[in-house]
């Protein structure tokens, strides 16, 4: 079982990648997209969005990061991919799935799913521009308004020379509304000879099990599910590798998550501008409260606070309580019913 961490603009940036990979279970990350329009970007743009390029293309926990490019001009994308490859990423990923209106209006992201020939041209150009040892992968949705061209687009990506394909099992029009149509990923897998990764609506171990069964994929990409439950990747791996009888997935506990939250806050205060710091912590707490009742309490306590000094004090208090009960396990092991 291989688990990837998804690119999510405005959420899964280098700060949260750092923290979630420290939690464990993630085998590889993909950065949020670097938008390519009509110019060759300076190196500082790539390293600003993917600072892991300064550390061998890996997070501080040692997890490799592929840098993602988004655009519609094959020549410009190829030129930027070549420059990016020289900075040592763990690979280069191409975005054919972003549903944002501003991106689609300019012919990028999911808008390209109505143009398989354009997709093929982009992948071909980038693959030719990048050294053979640098992997080139892509991420797509099932389509723009419908999934009638999903297989055609996937074939265009593979035919262009991509080494791997991630499929978000929804169309652009379906956005993030459940369900995800994992069975359509199986249709794509049936015609491709490159690895296919399943993505979309994986929030729990049970979701991962059902996704794997429906898609046939042994590679999964987690997005909001991992943000909501930083122990999800570990729990999925424990579930998939346990014996069929009496498996016991590992789950990160709230007390154990608090030091990671403190590290997150320290990174936010070090690397991000003052105005956005409190919002970033509250954004993560907003996701965490879906999984942890304690996060709901924390969110309510902090939702009207924007002063970093007050948040420092709050975090110091909760971490101190955690240290006072240092016998609490980092993971809990809970039985689940046999499938």
Amino acid 261: pLDDT: 95
pLDDT, one tens digit per residue, over 282-318 is: 999 999 999 999 999 999 999 999 999 999 999 988 8
Structure tokens at 214: 């429906």
Question: Which of these CATH numbers, 1.20.140, 1.20.225, 2.70.98, 2.60.40, describes 252-324?
Answer: 1.20.225
Contact present, 83 and 47 (Cβ < 8 Å): no
pLDDT, one tens digit per residue, over 169-190 is: 999 999 999 999 999 999 999 9
pLDDT, one tens digit per residue, over 196-232 is: 999 999 999 999 999 999 999 999 999 999 999 999 9
Class level of CATH domain 2-241: alpha beta
Q: Identify the helix (H) or strand (E) that includes residue 77.
A: helix 74-85
Amino acid 250: pLDDT: 61
Paired sense of beta strands 136-141 and 164-168, if any: parallel
What gap in Å lies between CA 248 and CA 53, rounded to an integer? 37
29 noted as active-site residue:
no
Q: What's the pLDDT band for 326 if we cut at 50, 70, 90?
A: low
The DSSP code for 86 is: T
If DSSP codes are grouped into helix, strand and coil, which group holds residue 201? coil
Predicted confidence (pLDDT) at residue 5 exceeds the cutoff of 90: yes
Domains of the chain, residue spans: 2-241, 252-324
Exposed/middle/buried for residue 139 (C-beta within 10 Å: 0-12, 13-18, 19+): buried
Task: Exactly one of 29, 76, 98, 217 is catalytic; name it.
Answer: 98
Q: What's the pLDDT band for 116 if we cut at 50, 70, 90?
A: very high
What would the mean pLDDT of 26-44 be, rounded to a whole number? 97
What would the mean pLDDT of 141-163 be, rounded to a whole number? 98
- Nearest CA to 189 out of 215, 211, 210 is that of 215
Q: Do domains 2-241 and 252-324 have the same CATH topology?
A: no
Exposed/middle/buried for residue 326 (C-beta within 10 Å: 0-12, 13-18, 19+): exposed
Amino acid 277: pLDDT: 94
| Percentage of residues in the chain having pLDDT higher than 70 | 92
Amino acid 332: pLDDT: 47
């Amino acid at each position: 079982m291989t688990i990837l961490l998804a690119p999510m603009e405005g959420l899964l940036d280098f700060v949260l990648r750092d923290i979630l990979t420290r939690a464990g279970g993630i085998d590889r990350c993909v950065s949020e997209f670097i938008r390519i329009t009509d110019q060759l970007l300076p190196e500082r743009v790539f390293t600003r969005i993917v600072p892991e390029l300064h550390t061998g293309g890996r997070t501080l926990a040692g997890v490799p990061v592929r840098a993602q490019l988004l655009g519609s001009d094959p020549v410009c994308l190829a030129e930027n991919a070549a420059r990016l490859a020289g900075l040592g990423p763990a690979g280069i990923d191409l975005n054919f799935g972003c549903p944002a209106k501003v991106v689609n209006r300019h012919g990028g992201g999911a808008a390209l799913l109505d143009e398989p020939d354009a997709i093929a041209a982009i992948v071909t150009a980038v693959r030719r521009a990048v050294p053979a040892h640098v992997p080139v992968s892509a991420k797509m949705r099932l389509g723009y308004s419908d999934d009638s061209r999903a297989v055609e687009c996937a074939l265009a990506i593979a035919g262009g020379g991509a080494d791997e394909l991630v499929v978000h099992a929804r169309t652009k029009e379906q956005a993030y509304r459940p369900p995800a149509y994992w069975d359509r990923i199986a249709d794509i897998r049936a015609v491709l000879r490159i690895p296919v990764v399943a993505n979309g609506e994986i929030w729990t171990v049970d979701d991962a099990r059902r996704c794997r069964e429906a898609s046939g994929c042994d590679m999964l990409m987690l997005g909001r599910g991992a943000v909501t439950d930083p122990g999800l990747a570990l729990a999925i791996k424990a579930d998939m590798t346990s014996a069929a009888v009496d498996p016991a997935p590992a789950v990160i506990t709230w007390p154990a998550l608090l030091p990671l939250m403190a590290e997150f806050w320290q990174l936010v205060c070090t690397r991000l501008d003052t105005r956005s710091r409190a919002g970033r912590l509250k954004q993560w707490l907003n996701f965490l409260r879906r999984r942890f009742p304690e996060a709901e309490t924390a969110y309510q306590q902090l939702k009207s606070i924007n002063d970093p000094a007050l948040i420092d004090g709050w975090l110091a208090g909760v971490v101190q309580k955690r240290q006072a009960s240092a016998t609490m396990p980092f993971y809990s092991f809970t039985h689940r019913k046999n499938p």
